[in-house]
Amino acid sequence: MDRVNFSIFGTTASELADVQHPRYRNPVLAQRRIDALERSIATYETYGVKASANIVVPDYTHAPRVHRLLDEFSPNLTVRLLMSLDHGDSSITAIERILAERGAVAEAHYVTAGGSNSRTAYRLPDGRRILFKHIRPVRLPQTCAGCRFNNGTDCEEGFYGVRLYYDRTGTWQVGVCIQRMDLCLPLDKFLTSPLRTEVLELRNAEYTRLAARRVG
């Protein structure tokens, strides 16, 4: 293991408590969780394991949370700002505004071949790197073609990649869509299915296209 990703739902006890189920909105418990998060990050640094923090930014009201994460947590923590699929443009605008406030300068763009994940890397004035994670429109050619969600509003994530689930019967299931759990297949069946072939062909075809564009 060389990296651990943390999802940050709050940087103060009150922030964290606000996003919990009403039964667990306890500021004391929330503070313990934040303290445990900081200890965990420090422990990984001690053993040379990289740590990343994913933080979703629905709109600009979440800006203080991002600034605190950058100012008060370890400078070695890689911060990734994620756009909120539910908030769309307001999320993107908020992230761009936060980056401008920090004096961030874009220096690289990364695309995952055969998946909707893409990231823009920014450099802060102090040399620290911060990532802005985007979702780009990618679909599986056959599986997504006839899907009722395959339009500009209902399918927000597109084909992000495969996910592995563990169901109530103790079976590992492979999924290709967070909105279509009916597409899941048991792991052994997925490995010999046309769906696996479709995923690989999409990845290889897009990798070839992206590599050619980069060279050109």
Residue 24 confidence (pLDDT): 66
- Please tell me the pTM assigned to this model: 0.80
Choose among 76, 19, 84: nearest CA to 52: 76
Choose among 143, 141, 144, 165: nearest CA to 154: 144
The string of pLDDT tens digits covering residues 1-22 is 788 888 888 888 787 777 777 7
Position with higher pLDDT, 132 vs 72 = 132
Please give the average per-residue pLDDT across 131-153, as a whole number. Answer: 91
The string of pLDDT tens digits covering residues 174-187 is 999 999 999 999 99
pLDDT-derived band at 125 (thresholds 50, 70, 90) equals very high
Computed over every residue of the chain, the mean pLDDT equals 90
Please give the average per-residue pLDDT across 114-141, as a whole number. Answer: 93
Residue 86 confidence (pLDDT): 81
Please give the average per-residue pLDDT across 72-90, as a whole number. Answer: 87
Position with higher pLDDT, 18 vs 38 = 38
Please give the average per-residue pLDDT across 121-126, as a whole number. Answer: 94
